[in-house]
Copies of this chain bind each other. A is one copy, B any other.
């Protein structure tokens, strides 16, 4: 099978580096173009990037010349992943889509647009239907699809089988989020060592709204959001990778602890059925030990694509409490977008 040529917008940033890493030797995609800001354009990737995700830049990427984020560049691949910062992603992604590109974005700008799919292949693969609406509206063959915020991904994947089975009505979540979520240099070491910062700008809003779209229903005119309510509190802790979430959930039906654990363990979805290359065998892994999940031990389960859950127990106020862990730069960012692209490939949308 000939690989699909792809580009990476914002290839030098922290999430861009994860795209580069995860797309090297990908069985279906081949990175032919890297894009970044003026500061990097014209230089080799090796010269432009401050590489931080592993010891070495993948050899095949070193010599690639970084381009400006310009959709009119000749010979560009028609599929681009976007790791752009939200301060610039909105415009650039639109320009690429208008010129006929498929933009698979990790940025927050268009996530809540009525005609843009906010996609987790295990949760709402049918939301790809929105692309018809989007293309009709724009009159081009280009489009934008997005993956959720890193903290949202973990929460929505856990809520999916539980909502289907028991009907979620209320969710209170406190996150303890990793430093890599803020990019590089991101959080100052003086804010991280021996400290917790109880605030992440614009984060709680995303966690309170994105899952409602993700668990919503596709209609001819767009998405009808799920109707439960989420209350989020976000904290930055001194962890390199892996967002922890302490979650308390109220359900319509009143499931037992065991029923909840069973529903999480039994959860399989389309990416597992289709055997998508980045899909983990188990979208959710449940750990029985009293003190798990832990970032340092569990974040790489399923090559960082599984959400790891532990401590499912009765709540005295709602119904169930649990703790979850999601690898924020893999399942919560670059890996999420790549899984979206893999689903689109299978669906003939690339």
Q: Is A293 an interface residue (CB 8 A)?
A: yes
A244 neighbours in B (Cβ, 8 Å): 196, 198, 235
CB of A285, distance to nearest CB on chain B (Å): 9
Q: Is A172 an interface residue (CB 8 A)?
A: yes
| B193 and A189 form a contact (CB under 8 A) | yes
A172 neighbours in B (Cβ, 8 Å): 172, 248, 317-318
Q: Is A1 an interface residue (CB 8 A)?
A: no
| A188 and B186 form a contact (CB under 8 A) | yes
CA distance A274 to B89 in the complex (A): 52
| A189 and B231 form a contact (CB under 8 A) | no
| B296 and A198 form a contact (CB under 8 A) | no
A192 neighbours in B (Cβ, 8 Å): 189, 192-193
CB of A176, distance to nearest CB on chain B (Å): 5
A190 neighbours in B (Cβ, 8 Å): 52, 179-180, 184-187, 240
CB of A313, distance to nearest CB on chain B (Å): 9
**Which segment of A30-38, A80-88, A297-305 sits at the interface?**
A297-305
Q: Is A135 an interface residue (CB 8 A)?
A: no
Listed by A's residue number, 25 A-B pairs whose Cβ atoms lie within 8 Å are A54-B297, A55-B300, A170-B317, A172-B317, A184-B190, A185-B190, A186-B189, A187-B188, A188-B188, A193-B194, A193-B238, A194-B194, A194-B238, A194-B239, A194-B240, A194-B296, A195-B295, A195-B296, A201-B290, A231-B315, A231-B318, A231-B321, A235-B244, A235-B246, A237-B237
The 8 closest A-B pairs by CB, nearest first: A185-B188, A189-B192, A174-B174, A199-B291, A174-B246, A195-B296, A198-B323, A233-B246
> Taking beta carbons and an 8 Å cutoff, which residues of A are in contact with B?
52, 54-56, 170, 172, 174, 176, 179-180, 184-199, 201, 208, 229-231, 233, 235, 237-240, 244, 246, 248, 290-298, 300-301, 310-311, 315-318, 321, 323
12 extra A-B contacts, CB within 8 A, seeds A189-B192, A197-B294, A231-B315: A56-B301, A170-B317, A172-B317, A176-B176, A184-B190, A185-B188, A192-B193, A194-B296, A196-B244, A230-B316, A231-B248, A235-B244
